[in-house]
Chain A
């Protein structure tokens, strides 16, 4: 059997290499990190729409009426153009809806996206999808190493346990080689068509369930009372908040998201995008009662039980609305049409509290929280 290390010279070289690699994130922070937008442009296509997120955060200017932040479920679940068009009609002016996402789930990632966006834009309302069972474990987002850099977000990571901070540092060590390459070239995608295509995730538009043939389905949802879409507290019969709880790491980031909303005084709401596995369910499955977890007790949750959403659809055809756990274009359009009145109502309610243009609007916003709360109290305090 060969020896593990051939000579003392080899041993010293190996130790030096390992030590350098382990301290690389700190060394880079000391030297000075490349601009933050390069983090996004290095995020690969399979991971999500990094360059599209970068464009919206760093290049586009002006206020945004609704910002959607979430996972791939959100991008494939909500037709942002439709929401923007409906909102424009309601407001009587061109509305602006933006959306940021990366694939896979993780509240640390959602915090980072929201944080970067709020630093650069004024936002009317943030709407987020919260983790489902697809979020496995209690560690940094699977792609965190691509966007976490030593020395950034120092305040928001201060309350993490030593073990959790070490997990983040581990991700930073893993991502350091690519961050190092960012010093020598920017690698920014500036072709607007490419960026737009990336943002649309249109490659999943007409894909059948798990590679099966795509079957065009009716895209008009059943009439669902808007009031029933809002969660009315922990005991709401349309929602089940007793799922597998998040671990402390992601609960921490959930709380940070709440604090971030308060810091920027941005109204905050959540939306549930139904997955294929929810077929036939009479309640919206959530892992936890989110308003409590994020620390904004009256933040609304919007959701439609799968059985309600697909009540007029034969059970055998429900899968035609999905390409895996995500919606294809059948499902995207179907769900967006069903949920949009509630999204507009939420935005309107917040706007009303702030004395915004909804006061002139003919559509009455729905009070979406339980009786003990005034929806104006939903606004995080300044």
Chain B
């Protein structure tokens, strides 16, 4: 590759990583969806998604790779992407041939477990030396979200919410570029309905542009500024710190995560909306909620919905059936705890993610029992008044936010990072 071109790619990395999925892709996808003959439209749409998904993988992974090694990196990354597509294609075969069995439900999760949770040292020799700082999972962009999208699809097909898609539509959905890397975990039903019977009331053009604009502001500007005051940006710099830096970092990381994640989702939802594809919302003003249960119903909503439909509902049903209706509150509490631990593990490999899950399991179960206690103690009318009290609302909201923000320390820091942070508060 000419040095000028590689220089352009490297120096404009942020621009490229955003422009590929959110500028070039929608233009190409719009042309295909609008102008391609109906016979080949879906196949062409799938090809556009695959081509741009590869471009996203290459551009996002280029960070940290030297110009000298970029050709080798592109070749290796492309080979890994082909493997990724083949594995996702195997899932389609399972859907087609083994829908009734457990296989299609567990195959994506098995791939996720193998790629994401296998220790880095096992795969270190496999990744070429110049980019050995990358782990195996870095070459399977958005695999966590892919696994959940594909298993939810099994759930929807089995429950006859949607028919089995054609292979082209399946690939287009699996590698749908705007939601490929960090979601939202859009159900196949929403994607399918948008293509079958487009409904502009769900995806108004003006709102789509507004979401893109606000998303870019959050993701590029506000998120990056907040990142200067996070654990990574402020505390984990290897230098000693004054204790005041800790609450700053707790609040800073919480703000950063929201701005970065919800900003990206805004862009993804907006760009999909321009194409007429309805993508489910991921955030609904979560910081205004009064307890953790409500918070999780409005934060990373597609993940919460997935866990509700795929784990919580069947699990609590099984538990209640096993222990009887009298034990329902405890069965629900147990199901909540299991859901949050699983959710913690889904976020990443390592002890800290399990602790993160447990942290929220404890919080939400406490809310569950406290709500039951209040309802029993206050009665229906007084409980309603309690809910309407503004002072109680603000106190509850502050406690909820503080609990959530504090818990994030486990999701963003490894054990080494935690030690580094604790070590930072030594005498200067």
Instruction: Flag whether B164 is at the interface (Cβ < 8 A).
Output: no
CB distance from B202 to the nearest CB of A (A): 6
Q: Would B237 and A3 count as touching, CB distance under 8 A?
A: no
Q: How many residues of B contact A (CB 8 A)?
A: 51
A137, B202: Cα distance in complex, Å = 42
A47, B238: Cα distance in complex, Å = 10
Q: Would B124 and A211 count as touching, CB distance under 8 A?
A: yes
Q: Would A210 and B3 count as touching, CB distance under 8 A?
A: no
Instruction: Flag whether A189 is at the interface (Cβ < 8 A).
Output: yes
CB distance from A151 to the nearest CB of B (A): 20
Q: Would B428 and A189 count as touching, CB distance under 8 A?
A: yes
| B68 proximity list for chain A (CB < 8 A) | 133, 277
Which of the residues A1, A17, A188 comes within 8 Å of B203, measured between beta carbons?
A1
A2, B240: Cα distance in complex, Å = 43
Instruction: Flag whether A181 is at the interface (Cβ < 8 A).
Output: yes
Which of the residues A46, A184, A244 comes within 8 Å of B237, measured between beta carbons?
A46
Q: Would A4 and B266 count as touching, CB distance under 8 A?
A: yes
CB distance from B137 to the nearest CB of A (A): 18
Q: Would B233 and A178 count as touching, CB distance under 8 A?
A: yes
CB distance from B196 to the nearest CB of A (A): 19
Which of the residues B67, B130, B226, B273 comes within 8 Å of A1, measured between beta carbons?
B273
Q: Would B129 and A211 count as touching, CB distance under 8 A?
A: yes
A134, B269: Cα distance in complex, Å = 37
CB distance from A149 to the nearest CB of B (A): 14
Q: Would A188 and B229 count as touching, CB distance under 8 A?
A: no
| B377 proximity list for chain A (CB < 8 A) | none
A2-B281, A4-B266, A325-B66 are contacts. A187–B241 as well, Cβ < 8 Å? yes
CB distance from A15 to the nearest CB of B (A): 11
CB distance from A96 to the nearest CB of B (A): 26
A211, B221: Cα distance in complex, Å = 35
Among the 9-residue stretches A154-162, A169-177, A225-233, A309-317, the one with 4 or more Cβ atoms under 8 Å from chain B is: A169-177
Which of chain B's residues has its CB closest to A277's CB? B68
Instruction: Flag whether A27 is at the interface (Cβ < 8 A).
Output: no
Q: How many residues of A contact B (CB 8 A)?
A: 48
CB distance from A276 to the nearest CB of B (A): 9
Instruction: Flag whether B204 is at the interface (Cβ < 8 A).
Output: yes
| A145 proximity list for chain B (CB < 8 A) | 228
Instruction: Flag whether A239 is at the interface (Cβ < 8 A).
Output: no
| B229 proximity list for chain A (CB < 8 A) | 177-178, 181
Instruction: Flag whether A363 is at the interface (Cβ < 8 A).
Output: no
Which of chain B's residues has its CB closest to A138's CB? B11
Q: Would A136 and B11 count as touching, CB distance under 8 A?
A: yes
Instruction: Flag whether A9 is at the interface (Cβ < 8 A).
Output: no
Q: Would A185 and B242 count as touching, CB distance under 8 A?
A: yes
* 12 A-B pairs in the complex with CB atoms less than 8 angstroms apart: A1-B208, A2-B284, A42-B237, A45-B239, A50-B239, A134-B67, A137-B11, A178-B233, A185-B244, A189-B239, A209-B129, A325-B66
Q: Which 9 residue pairs across A and B have the least CB separation, nearest first?
A: A137-B11, A45-B238, A44-B237, A4-B210, A185-B242, A210-B129, A4-B214, A177-B228, A136-B10
Instruction: Enumerate chain A interface residues (CB-CB to B < 8 A).
Output: 1-6, 14, 17-18, 21, 41-47, 50-51, 133-134, 136-139, 145, 173-178, 181, 184-185, 187-191, 198, 209-212, 244, 277, 325
Known: A178-B233, A185-B245. 4 other contacts (CB 8 A): A1-B273, A4-B210, A134-B67, A139-B11
